[in-house]
Amino acid sequence: MRVVTKLGIGVGVAAAALGIALATPIVGLTSPFLAVGNHQGALRANGAGIAENGEAFSVHLDANGPAASSIQDAAIMPGGVNGWHKHPGMVVVMLVAGSITWYDEHCNPTQYNAGDAWMEGGQLHAFKVTSSTPIHIMAYFLTAQGLPVRTDEPAPECAGALGL
């Protein structure tokens, strides 16, 4: 075998091994997209109302540049993890069934249960299914057009102790 060929194979194996070592795999996930739509320009919207308790409510959205809206329906088996990742925009997540522990980039945990909703964005995060039944999640993504809804990232140092 020629030296150049051996070198090429060695670099390929090393790159694959490094990718495996840095990967934070998604385990036990089924996640079809129900809808995807593109916005050609900036998005600006405001809304206001009165909450059930009589308090004023307002919301403001300001997205510059072309964006994509996506709705995803996800199910993850007990013990499953969604891997360390970020989003190139924002995500509104609704936990329909089950329980998870969500971790930020410092491995600080937050417990979410069926009926809870939260927002994610460009911060590094991951979660693990803690219920004995599969979880069911619905998510709405508003991201930069042309980019994937998530980018996989290496786990932070603190994740090793958590088995993530």
CATH of the domain at 61: 2.60.120.10
Confidence class for position 29, pLDDT limits 50, 70, 90: low
Separation between Cα atoms, residue 134 and residue 122, nearest integer Å: 26
pLDDT at 8 (0 to 100): 37
- Give the sheet arrangement for strand 85-86, strand by strand: 109-113, 99-104, 125-129, 85-86, 151-152
The answer to whether residue 37 is domain-embedded is yes
Confidence class for position 41, pLDDT limits 50, 70, 90: confident
pLDDT at 24 (0 to 100): 63
Total domains in the fold of the chain = 1
Cα dihedral 45, 68, 88, 96 in deg (nearest 10) = 80
**pTM of the entire structure?**
0.78
The answer to whether residue 12 is domain-embedded is no
> What token pair was written down for 94?
């609704």
The answer to whether residue 3 is domain-embedded is no
CA-derived radius of gyration, the chain: 19
Separation between Cα atoms, residue 16 and residue 52, nearest integer Å: 54
Separation between Cα atoms, residue 23 and residue 153, nearest integer Å: 7
What are the pLDDT digits (tens) for 80-102?
999 999 999 999 999 999 999 99
The answer to whether residue 9 is domain-embedded is no
Separation between Cα atoms, residue 32 and residue 34, nearest integer Å: 6
pLDDT at 4 (0 to 100): 37
The helix/strand/coil state of 95 is: strand
The answer to whether residue 138 is domain-embedded is yes
Q: For residue 141, give its domain range.
A: 25-162
pLDDT at 42 (0 to 100): 86
The answer to whether residue 70 is domain-embedded is yes
The answer to whether residue 15 is domain-embedded is no
Is residue 140's pLDDT more than 50? yes
The answer to whether residue 7 is domain-embedded is no
